[in-house]
Amino acid sequence: MAFRSEILIKLDKKGRVLLPAAFRDELPADDRGAFVLYHSPNLAGVVNGNSRAGFDAMLDRLRAEALGPKGALKVALDDEAFDPAGYLSASARTIAMEPDGRFSLPAEFASVLDVTDGVMLVGKGDKFQLWNPGRWQARRDSDRDKMAAFVRGLGAGDA
């Protein structure tokens, strides 16, 4: 289960978006009809997506590693303390797909993405992202330079 590739998908007049077959195939076999969209916790204008199981697994890791072994119990009782996993849950929505893999993009996501006729779907391995196509282009260009620098840095550190 690893989301790869970047795919430009049409947003039609009815506000529908297709989750590409390449991504649908990465959803768990027993839960192909729905997935989760949630706002990026620290990058405005980006929406993250994952399978329900993948999203839940991330929350579990978050609670375990951020809060320690007693985290789960504490979170269940302590409403005063900040709970990052709870924060993400509130920003997330379960999205049901039609049998053909399409779904209607909730307006809250469409507006932060600022998309009107196309959405860029980007695989990030253990999750995927929705981007405004133009913004993704810019991000991608800047990442390309960072990647080249990163590779150069590996060589230097080695020697």
On the CB side of 156, CA atoms within 13 Å amount to 6
Give the footprint of DNA on this chain (CB under 7 A): 7-10, 12-16, 18, 20-22, 96, 98-104, 106-107
Who contacts 5 (Cβ-Cβ below 8 Å, separation ≥6)? 22, 123
Does the protein bind a second copy through residue 33 (CB under 8 A)? no
> Position of tokens 């409403």?
79
Picking from 75, 76, 3, the residue whose alpha carbon sits closest to that of residue 36 is: 3
CB of 9 to a second copy, least distance (A): 15
141 in helix, strand or coil?
helix
Residue from 103, 112, 126, 133 binding a second copy (CB under 8 A): 126
Does the protein bind a second copy through residue 76 (CB under 8 A)? yes
- How do strand 47-50 and strand 34-39 relate by DSSP bridges? antiparallel
Does the protein bind a second copy through residue 53 (CB under 8 A)? no
Does the protein bind a second copy through residue 119 (CB under 8 A)? no
CB of 143 to a second copy, least distance (A): 5
CB of 1 to DNA, least distance (A): 17
Q: Are 25 and 3 in contact (CB under 8 A)?
A: no
Does the protein bind a second copy through residue 98 (CB under 8 A)? no
Does the protein bind a second copy through residue 48 (CB under 8 A)? yes
